[in-house]
Amino acid sequence: MPGNGAVTRNTLRQQIADALRDEVLAGRLQPGQEFTVKEIADQYGVSATPVREALVDLSAQGLLDALQHRGFRVREYSLADFRGLVEARSLVIDGMFHALEQGLGGPPQFQDPGDPYTATALAGVRRRGDEAQRAACAGDLTVLIGYDLRFWRELGTLFGNPYLVDFLHRLRVQSWVCAVQQLRRLPDLRGHLWAGHTELIDALSRRDIDAARSIVAAHNAHALALVERLVNG
């Protein structure tokens, strides 16, 4: 059937994009590293079309730079880039908190933390937060990134605006790519990584927006201080 090929190609395109994003986040694809569509297609044993589409997607997300007639390169982020990303994600999160304060946005938006649907959703986000916190305390950066991205995506979904959720996810991926370029230099990350996920979900469950804002501000300050210290040696 004609539709099956398109679905398969789109699925493959996403799988390749996800795999390459994970390679960048894991530090196996280094900043400034260049490669061609053919090299990636040969690596994964697939045709060039879904690879090219996946690389274009990652370029649009800010993870790669397209090089005219030469392929692609892993983007190199500066300290100024990281500061800008942290500021941008802070504005998005604060907008979500403002919607919660004003009773805006879609359901369930924490209107009634005792409601079964809301309670179940919060419990799911808390589980991601618990895993992220354990990984942070253990210094396991790869596991932390995975759970952290899921935590913020699922938390954002509760506010009911899918556009904000997608934008915040993209900002957090870029933030991690930028931070990873510095964090991978540390031999032991225990004690260096932010682990306030469950504290944040507890504050939101109580509808204590001031506490939630303070937790996010502390998170941002911690991230900036750590990356600045690593950049400056």
Average pLDDT of the chain, as a whole number: 87
What pLDDT score was predicted for residue 107?
44
Q: How confident is the model at residue 6 (pLDDT cuts 50, 70, 90)?
A: very low
Higher pLDDT, 2 or 41: 41
Residue of 205 and 58 predicted with greater confidence: 58
Q: Which residues of 75-100 are buried (b: 16+ CB within 10 A; e: fewer)?
A: bebeeebbbbbbebbbebbebbbebb
State how far the Cα of 223 lies from the Cα of 46, in Å rounded to an integer: 38
95-134 pLDDT tens trace: 888 877 776 544 444 555 556 666 777 888 999 999 999 9
Interhelix angle 2-25/37-44, rounded to 10 degrees, is 100
In tens, the pLDDT along 133-167 reads 999 999 999 999 999 999 999 998 887 788 889 99
pTM across the whole model: 0.85
Say what the pLDDT of residue 229 is. 93
Give Dmax (Cα) for the chain: 58
Give me the phi and psi of 71, to 5 degrees please.
110, -135
Q: Please, where in the chain does CATH 1.20.120.530 lie?
A: 79-231
**What does the alpha-carbon distance between residue 114 and residue 112 come to, in Å, rounded to a whole number?**
5
Q: What is the pLDDT of residue 204?
A: 87
CATH of the domain spanning 79-231: 1.20.120.530
Q: Specify the CATH number for 2-74; select among 1.10.10.10, 3.40.640.10, 1.20.1070.10, 3.90.25.10.
A: 1.10.10.10
CATH 1.10.10.10 in the chain, residue ranges: 2-74
Q: What is the pLDDT of residue 9?
A: 56
In a 13 Å sphere around the CA of 115, the CA atoms on its Cβ side amount to 10
- Contact present, 181 and 31 (Cβ < 8 Å): yes
Q: Which residues of 19-33 are buried (b: 16+ CB within 10 A; e: fewer)?
A: ebbeebbebebeeee
Contact by Cβ (8 Å): 177, 24: yes
